[in-house]
Amino acid sequence: MTPLRWLLTILSFATSFGASIYVVVSGWPEDGAPLGLPFWAHLGALAIVAADLTLRTFKVQLSGRAVGAIVEFGTALRMGLGGDFAAAITPSKTGAEPARFLVLKEAGYPAAQILAVLFLELALELMSLLTIAVVFYLTLERSGSLMTALLSIVGAYATTMLAITAVLFILSRRNTSGPAPAWATRLRLSATMWHRVQTTLRHVKVSVEGLVRARPAFILAAYFVSVTHVFARLLVLPILVFAYGDRPPVAPLLVWPMVLLYGSSAAPAPAGGGVVEMSFQAALAGHIPVQLIASSLIWWRVYTFYAYVAFGAMSAGRTVMRALRPGAVTMEPDANEFDDPAGTP
């Protein structure tokens, strides 16, 4: 992280705090509003955070077993939290994968297996979002704007990821070495840029090769764990709102957090730059009583974002800082890494 990037990150977090303050001040009712939470609600939200982290850790371990790597619980937990911290302080969460890669690399795992684990995790996350979106569409009240937002975000995310993966896979079959092809020359890609493209293509090729060798039983188990942890995280807002004794419709309290949590990846600013806070108010003002909007936003952000940032900084902060240094992480697999079927450190 350069000084300029640190400055932009600090400004983005300040903007997020400012947006929260704006939501509190602009929506504060004349008769006052509660900001505290019942003790049991804090315990419930913390239990969800703990369950989410535990399930995510199990998912990493199962994904590792699928590609032949035995990842220890502590290492898998640090990998997830390190990715959360890096995602929070980098634009569009671009630092997450290098940080997660470096955590496993420093634990002694070969790059090829790490790439396969990361690739499998992204695929499982995508499948989990699609599964939950379909379940919500079939079971929850189908408010027009609500389901449109859900299907738009999840559909756009899935389409983009599948399209990028398909293009990279096709290119990786014949463009992982050698000089730039004619189309790259026409696009005026420099030698340095083309080398970066080739490195990415090699990552995709090695990841796919790892998944071809993966064991389906572990992939299926990881998929069910992934669906469970994604859904668990969506329960935070209903618990917070219900803790105040109010009973609004459940559908908006489940669907809008999903849209905001995963749609915020498109925000270029670290921490969302206030986009999440303003979108929360705009989307949920008609579903949550006005006197609960401020407290719901504050505690929802604490238990779905800031807690993960804090835990990530404490558990893997130094590793993340190393991962974010320019040129510090070279995710380049050795050509013979998959020759060892065990591949464990």
CA-CA distance, 342 to 333, in Å (whole number)? 16
Q: Which two tokens stand for residue 274?
A: 């206030």
- Amino acid 338: pLDDT: 42
- Amino acid 187: pLDDT: 65
The closest of 237, 71, 55, 76 to 128, measured between CA atoms, is 55
List own/partner pairs for 330-333 with CB under 8 A and 24 or more apart. Answer: 331/98, 331/101, 331/111, 331/114, 331/115, 331/199, 331/203, 332/111, 332/199, 332/202, 333/110, 333/111, 333/112, 333/115, 333/202, 333/203, 333/206
Neighbours of 171 (CB within 10 A): 19
Q: Which two tokens stand for residue 227?
A: 């669906």
CA-CA distance, 76 to 118, in Å (whole number)? 12
Under 8 Å between Cβ of 114 and 149: no
- Sign of the Cα pseudo-torsion (72, 75, 76, 77, in order): positive
* 104, containing H or E segment: helix 96-106
AA letter at 49:
V
Q: Which two tokens stand for residue 129?
A: 């979002």
Phi, psi (5° rounding) for residue 278? -65, -40
- Amino acid 147: pLDDT: 75
What is the value of pTM for the model shown? 0.82
The closest of 163, 157, 172, 164 to 204, measured between CA atoms, is 172
Q: Which two tokens stand for residue 28?
A: 């504060």
AA letter at 63:
S
Q: Which two tokens stand for residue 277?
A: 């806070």
CA-CA distance, 282 to 62, in Å (whole number)? 39
Under 8 Å between Cβ of 64 and 74: no
pLDDT tens for the chain, residues 1 to 345: 778 888 888 998 999 989 888 888 876 776 666 778 888 999 999 999 999 999 999 999 999 999 888 999 999 999 999 999 999 999 888 889 889 999 999 999 888 788 888 888 888 988 999 999 889 888 887 666 777 778 777 877 777 777 766 666 666 666 566 676 676 666 666 666 666 666 666 666 666 666 667 789 999 999 999 999 999 999 999 999 999 887 888 889 999 999 888 877 767 788 888 889 999 988 888 888 888 888 899 999 999 999 999 999 999 999 999 988 876 665 555 544 444 434 444
Output b/e per residue, 39-62; b: 16+ Cβ within 10 A: eebbebbeebbeebbebbbbbbbb
Give me the residue spans of the domains in the chain. Answer: 3-27+37-329
